A and B are shown apart, each in its own frame.
Chain A
């Protein structure tokens, strides 16, 4: 029975066929790379076709539930003219990518970019393979290539009706030159892409066979539990290993870095038990007295600060507001949040004096490899990373801190693979958190209720400052303005306001920020869309009509908003006790809107009855998977809106598990109707944008139901009881 979960040689090979030759792990692998390639002809980097016609599409991006694996395979298969029933997939390794001059390009899987950033070159990869297969068949038959056509993995010589399957000519095709400048099919001719084909990765998720990073087992492997100083900026002073080395299974207690200690044992439960018994002395460092209150005070100061970075500016907002007939002002706030992936952070590493190999769930195989190279002390050519499916990512697994740790631990056990698994508590305390911000919104209305000026002052944390300071532009973090920009993939701002100022007073607390599914679009959509609702009510104008007046030059934004308004029955009476709210935003390259119908009981309990969502992502590669992303976005967005907040006390995060950091469950889940309105003229993402409209649509409906405006998240802190 124990063999069930030990990775079989076959499954190891399946996950790393591209690097089979480079891959040895203390037990022999029967193929050299050349033999492996001969056995499984690689037509080009993207497409492998076996003699029995099975097709393996190489996927560089990571699958973490979002369906990108299936979508990318559909795009390759479409241009390949493949028989979809014969298509499977594999991950090439980042090390192989490096050795092959980055033939698979970017491995990074975040920002809803998996498909929208690579659709062109993966389709070209599929098309090039098809051309090569046809050329090989034509050559074998001695006929002009132009007389042959490919469909469903079969090449037909049209004049004679002769046919051959891809598997028969793949080896010959592989020897041909890869064509350049291939022509792609228009979306109107798609037969595989654009269709709701089933996911390629479902079956193993139904019977426990899917191997996640936490499930990796290698021969002779040990397990590690870890604890870093819970106070950010603190360090490890000492630990008393002698107190735990006699405990069952314990092999070694190791310092990992200047703030981290780990226990290595036969089994993880033994390692965790010993770690909990380990006496540790921390130096809590310079932030030991920081709290949610001190952080909030810093942000509040930024609301009035003189200096701020501009994000979007038109006319004279302050002047227009000063001379407006009516001034409306409100201050909003958004907390720290942990990604809380269901699978806690983990990585398995094998370090020897000659090489280093890592098995891990990662959103960015190349940055995981870079982390492994740096931590191992080995040259790049001696390192590799084997990607496994992620038990959730949500941005957290774009960071490679856990990979670095695993390698630093394995380095202290040369020749023995060690799996590092974080406890849920470690995962909650060592996050890279949704940035904390506040926003002061000030609007000016003329006597007819038109918005003549808007000043949005964001105060708070910059993700780039924490994650990638080189990305700052003279100190300014452009990512802060997601959805608020004058143009581009993370804008344009949906409202034409004659006098507009959106600026950012950067205030960076000591809690490390990270990209958190939806990123800055989340709070920006809440700030803008709830305040638009406030302005509409102040003007005495219907919130949809108020927005329409400002959206004359942003028809795509307006189209999704109109779609959800129609879907929810905006303007018609709500069911007794319920009320409706709307929101729209543009981000991650897509236009999204949501409408919510909610009720609030006398005791202040909120129930979301129904959601209607509309998405214009330009192109839709798999409608059913886009719908799944839209549905899931409401779970992620409403979990955040209702329940989730990481508070700070004595410099550290207070919430350590799902009991104090709950997520939405099925009993809270509303019906979601997803409307897709792809306009066909661009490529946008779908994994994230809808999250941003979940909260404001619900918050605006709460106001409509109660007359109470909630401006601070999460909603669990709001008192909505009727007096």
Chain B
């Protein structure tokens, strides 16, 4: 049994310590907004925040996490789609199929938290998530809109 702090709540997870955080979130905590895309930290669909850092949750095991680490998933980013990234995404109709967008939004939110006025190079460096529909230009525009640049 592992105790995690997810979206400001303590969640007890009954799973093997080798279980990736992604699957504990999806299958034990019932938070399916965090997506499985590759399982090898390539695509970023599983991105969550751990103590504010964007992390690929498919490649972090339950056993390596501490109860006091603050995990935030897409469900906990805002209670009402009020995060500036979510608002910008809505305004620009960024998502197509949307499957990668939880991870994309979490990566973008972490970027803005660190760099409120990111440059294109900052965006290129931080946003390594894969989108097969091809929303990249709207992702970039969305980040800039949220940043007010």
- Complex interface: chain A residues within 8 A of B99 (CB): 212, 341-343, 391-392
Partner of A65, one of B32, B98, B140: B98
Q: Are A666 and B136 in contact (CB-based, < 8 A)?
A: yes
B134 within 8 A of A: yes
Q: Shortest beta-carbon distance, A227 to chain B, in Å?
A: 15
Pick the residue among A4, A223, A341, A636 that contacts B134 (CB under 8 A).
A636
Point out the residue from A217, A389, A658 that lies within 8 Å of B38, measured CB to CB.
A658
The answer to whether A657 and B23 touch (CB under 8 A), given A65-B96, A667-B124, is: no
Kindly state the separation between the CA atoms of A660 and B86 in the bound complex, as whole angstroms. Answer: 32
Q: Is A210 in contact with B98, judged by CB distance below 8 angstroms?
A: yes
Instruction: Choose one: B23, B40, B75, B132; the contact of A392 (CB below 8 Å).
Output: B132
Contact B129 A391 (CB under 8 A): no
Q: Are B81 and A206 in contact (CB under 8 A)?
A: yes
Do A207 and B133 have beta carbons less than 8 Å apart?
no
Query: Could you tell me if B30 and A631 are in contact, using CB atoms closer than 8 angstroms?
Result: no
Q: How many whole Å from B141's CB to the nearest CB in chain A? A: 10
Assuming the A-B contacts A208-B102, A628-B96, are A669 and B137 also in contact, with contact meaning beta carbons closer than 8 angstroms in the complex?
yes
Taking CB atoms, residues of chain B closer than 8 Å to A624 are: 93
How long is the Cα–Cα vector from A639 to B132 in the complex, in angstroms?
Answer: 9
Contact of B77 among A66, A207, A209 (CB under 8 A): A207
**A635 and B134 contacting across the interface, CB-CB below 8 Å:** yes
Partner of A208, one of B9, B27, B38, B74: B74
Q: Which of A4, A394, A669, A671 contacts B75 (CB 8 A)?
A: A4
Q: Which of B56-100 contact A (CB under 8 A)?
A: 73-75, 77-78, 81, 86, 89-90, 93-100
Q: Please tell me if the beta carbons of B133 and A392 are within 8 angstroms of each other in the complex.
A: yes
Interface string of A1-30 (1 = CB under 8 A from B): 111111000000000000000000000000
Given A209-B33, A267-B23, A392-B133, the answer on whether A658 and B40 have CB atoms closer than 8 Å is yes
Partner of A666 from B9, B11, B132, B139 at Cβ < 8 Å: B139
**Which stretch from A50-58, A195-203, A303-311, A587-595 is at the chain B interface?**
A195-203
Interface size class of A (residues with CB under 8 A): 35 or more
CA distance A462 to B87 in the complex (A): 46
**In the assembled complex, B145 has its CB within 8 A of some CB on chain A:** no
| CB contact under 8 A between A342 and B74, given known A1-B9, A269-B19, A669-B136 | no
Q: Is the CB of A206 within 8 A of B95?
A: yes
Q: Which of B40, B99, B129, B130 has the most CB of A within 10 A?
A: B99
Q: Of B11, B78, B132, B137, which is within 8 A of A394 by CB? A: B132
Q: Would you call A392 and B33 a contact (CB within 8 A)? A: no
Q: Does the CB pair A211–B40 fall under 8 Å?
A: no
Interface residue B116 (Cβ < 8 Å from any Cβ of A): no
Residues B136 and A202 in contact, CB atoms below 8 Å apart:
no
Q: How far is the CA of A423 from the CA of B38 in the complex (A)?
A: 8
Bound Cα distance from A53 to B66, whole angstroms = 51
Query: Closest CB-CB distance, B26 to chain A, in whole Å?
Result: 8
Whether B81 contacts A203 by the Cβ 8 Å rule is yes
* A658 with B31: CB separation less than 8 A: no
A634 CB within 8 Å of chain B: yes
| Contact partner, B42, options A4, A394, A658, Cβ 8 Å | A658
Q: A4-B75, A342-B43, A392-B97 are in contact. Are A632 and B29 (CB under 8 A)?
A: no
A1 CB contacts on chain B under 8 angstroms: 6, 9, 11, 29-31
Q: Which B residues contact A (CB, under 8 angstroms)?
A: 6, 9, 11, 15-16, 18-20, 23, 26-40, 42-43, 45, 73-75, 77-78, 81, 86, 89-90, 93-102, 105, 123-125, 127-140
Please list 18 pairs of residues, one from A and one from B, whose beta carbons are closer than 8 Å in the complex, sorted by A's number.
A1-B6, A5-B26, A5-B31, A5-B32, A65-B133, A67-B96, A202-B94, A206-B89, A207-B77, A207-B86, A208-B33, A208-B34, A268-B23, A269-B20, A632-B135, A665-B128, A666-B136, A667-B127
